[in-house]
Amino acid sequence: MNPVVAATRAALLLLISSGPLALRSADLVLNELMADNQSAVVHNGNYPDWLEIYNSSDQAKNLSGMRLTDDPLIPGKYVFPPNTVIASKGTLVVWCDAPAFDGALHTGFALSKGGSSVSLYSADTPPALLDSITFGFQIPDFSIGRVPDGSGGWQLTQATPGGTNVAQALGSVSQVKINEWMAKAASGSDWFELYNPQALPVSMAGAFLSLNTSDPNNTQLPQLCFIGPMGFRQFLADKQLTKGPDHVDFKLSASGSTIALFTPSRALADTVSFGSQTLGTSQGRLPDGSALFAAFPTTSTPGDSNYLPINNAVINEVLSHTDPPLEDAVELFNPTSSPADISGWFLSNSKNNLKKFRIPNGTLLPAGGYHVFYEYQFDPDPNNPNSFTFNSAHGDSVHLSVADANGNLTGYRVSQSFGAAQHGVSFGRYFTSIGVEFVPLAQRTFGNDNPTNLAEFRQGTGLSNAPPMVGPVVISEIMFNPPPTIASGVTNDNTLDEYIVLQNITTSRVVLFDPLHRTNTWRLATAVTYQFSQDAYIDQFAIVVGFDPIVDATALASFKSKFGVPDGVPIYGPWSGKLKNSGDTIDLLRPDDPQLPPHPDAGFVPYPTVESISYSNVAPWPTTASGTGASIHRRSLQGFGDDPANWVSGSPTPGRGPVPLSIASVRVQSGNVTLSFVADGPKTYHLQVRSSLGSGGWVTLKDVTAVAAGPVEVSDSITAGSSARFYRVVGP
């Protein structure tokens, strides 16, 4: 181990172990925190990180002006507002998320589930450190806290914000398995994974990881590191311990190696040895934690359950947002030419509990056919933890797992995730020009899709999927890499000229807010983030930019002049972030109805996806829009957006749309026919000819490469007495 890092980790252990002694004279202490809140504690319909402060004194304490931070170099990341008071022997919960006007305290920063620190400082100048805690990697829905409150040592606890801390029972580190490894990564660092097969979480504090079964003294894990019940933890084998507790001080050998796990008392807990490795292929136990091993050429799962894909069943369609006469449903499809016996397999919505609904014996999935499972089957008893429905507000996942006759999972599985759903809209598989996506469909296709009651809906036995849902608003043009700017000889990325064009493909105005809840507005997410205003709309076009079109009149005037934006086209901004030149994802989201009480997510506003475009600057996406002045345009407004075959590069036309391709003029002279058309950018066009409009096909006469947008001429030689010739120009 690097001696500097070793000393740092030793100091950390000393700090934590001596913490309770140092706190005897302190009144205000950090008492509990949760850095991976996935479903344990809801606030405003979300699951934010949080922390708790405890007042151990006999008097109320005013925190006004005190500070919280996750970065000791910036003590004042969060400052408590005036009149923030904790009662004697009381607690105060602080939410570690974006500010909100809900009367609660919000830090504006989240906690890192991979390990971090939190510090509480006084209101003095300079501020004095009152208390701090440094923790390692955390697990979902468990907190860490002092037991007893205010004075005890930090340990894994059950989530009790504002209540008495409760210690969590732990499993044994000696049962943890080395479960998967990648020793010849195609990119990035080598890695390996630990798996806890127990029903209780386990503390990894003080455990050792090594390449030698007889020498544990390589990498020792710091305090407050855990692996969840039936959980996984990835470690990067990069010899860079300073990057976090999930890094180790050794690398794996592609020609073969050994990995060893030791308990804090240096007893060997588990070891694996492997030989020469294949590029980009991981190896590991199948199923998880077993004595059987397999290679995973296409299904490496660092930090997740190992599996090999099922080849005779896919998850074809899912319905998650329902009310009678509909209910949640899952459709399976068999793409092979032989029937599949799926008796005893399992359906689940949880990767941490794959054995929820056992498919009845005698269930066959026909060759090239379907089978639909309905909510009454996989949710027969809401009080049973293995019954389930899908989370339509936050999105969810469905997993189909193969099991043997005794109900043991074999490690073969197929999974599908999906986002928030509009009411009654299903998700399904759709084949693009480059692969398969799981997207909202234009209509349900379970077999009986417009029922009058649940019994009728349950009669559906599956159908081929409908096309994707498109509109009412689409992304029709993207300028992601305008020509760079040059200032004082320095070339700079030109973010001012980036833009996204939204186009209304209906005949009526589309308002970009929920008319019943005007504060809930449409938004852009992922590559750039932007929340539309409460009066935003689209008649035909709207443009979103990275500058503020209201405040920055100069930038607005320059943009409109440069790109010829017609008057009256709304321009919105500024967005946060930028459109990466190499490619990124643009999500257009719309608000759904807020969740209502007594739903546990009451107040939460779901945001289903209207459009998601993952553009790129490499083929098969258009390749001539990178720094050339061209943008990319959608070919078909009604066609699926996230398909490179539906995009072409061309001259920027924000707010106007691309100019239709047509022959502008024809000139016949001296046995030559000269045709003129307007090119929409630097690309190749095809002049085609035929002798009759009633029969025969078009034949490409010439390929014409335009060097830039503008007029292009092309000629065809004809001889006297030739039959009639008809021409057309076809774009790329």
Closest CA to 144 of 40, 74, 24, 42: 40
* Averaged pLDDT, 631-643: 94
- Mean pLDDT score of the chain: 91
pLDDT in tens, 292-313: 999 999 999 999 999 999 999 9
What local confidence, expressed as pLDDT, does residue 701 receive? Answer: 83
* Averaged pLDDT, 432-446: 97
What local confidence, expressed as pLDDT, does residue 722 receive? Answer: 65
| pLDDT above 70 coverage of the chain, percent | 93
What local confidence, expressed as pLDDT, does residue 409 receive? Answer: 95
* Burial 249-259, CB ≥16 within 10 A → b, else e: bbebbbeebeb
What local confidence, expressed as pLDDT, does residue 15 receive? Answer: 35
Q: Which residues pair with 145 in a beta bridge?
A: 32, 155
Does residue 22 carry a pLDDT above 50?
A: no
* Averaged pLDDT, 226-234: 96
Lowest mean pLDDT among 78-87, 409-418, 681-690: 681-690
Domain layout of the chain by residue ranges: 3-167, 173-296, 335-457, 473-650, 663-730
Does residue 104 carry a pLDDT above 80?
A: yes
Provide the token pair at 37: 């809140």
What local confidence, expressed as pLDDT, does residue 726 receive? Answer: 82
* Averaged pLDDT, 476-501: 91
Lowest mean pLDDT among 88-102, 166-180, 707-721: 707-721
Q: Are 76 and 113 in contact (CB under 8 A)?
A: no
Closest CA to 595 of 454, 399, 393, 415: 393
pLDDT in tens, 171-190: 999 999 999 999 999 999 99
What local confidence, expressed as pLDDT, does residue 477 receive? Answer: 97
pLDDT in tens, 49-96: 999 999 999 999 999 999 999 998 999 999 999 999 999 999 999 999
What is the length of the chain? 732
> What is the CATH superfamily name and number for domain 3-167?
Lamin Tail domain (2.60.40.1260)
Closest CA to 466 of 445, 494, 440, 492: 445
H-type alpha helices, 255-403: 375-378
Does residue 645 carry a pLDDT above 80?
A: yes
List all residues 6 or more positions away from 444 whose beta carbon is below 8 Å from its beta carbon.
317, 319, 424, 425, 426, 466
**Domain 173-296, classified CATH 2.60.40.1260, yes or no:** yes
Whether the domain at 3-167 and the domain at 663-730 fall into the same CATH topology: yes
The third-level CATH classification (topology) of the domain covering 663-730 is Immunoglobulin-like (2.60.40)
Closest CA to 55 of 88, 94, 83, 21: 88
What local confidence, expressed as pLDDT, does residue 503 receive? Answer: 97
Closest CA to 510 of 477, 483, 538: 538
What local confidence, expressed as pLDDT, does residue 9 receive? Answer: 39
pLDDT in tens, 483-493: 998 888 788 88
Provide the token pair at 354: 């794959």
The DSSP-derived string for 285-303 is ESSTTSS-EEEESS---TT
Does residue 273 carry a pLDDT above 50?
A: yes
Cα–Cα distance, 292 to 286 (Å, whole number): 6
Does residue 550 carry a pLDDT above 70?
A: yes
Does residue 16 carry a pLDDT above 70?
A: no
Q: How confident is the model at residue 386 (pLDDT cuts 50, 70, 90)?
A: very high
Cα–Cα distance, 72 to 67 (Å, whole number): 11
What local confidence, expressed as pLDDT, does residue 20 receive? Answer: 33
Helix H or strand E segment including 457: helix 454-457
Q: Are 199 and 230 in contact (CB under 8 A)?
A: yes
Q: How confident is the model at residue 667 (pLDDT cuts 50, 70, 90)?
A: confident
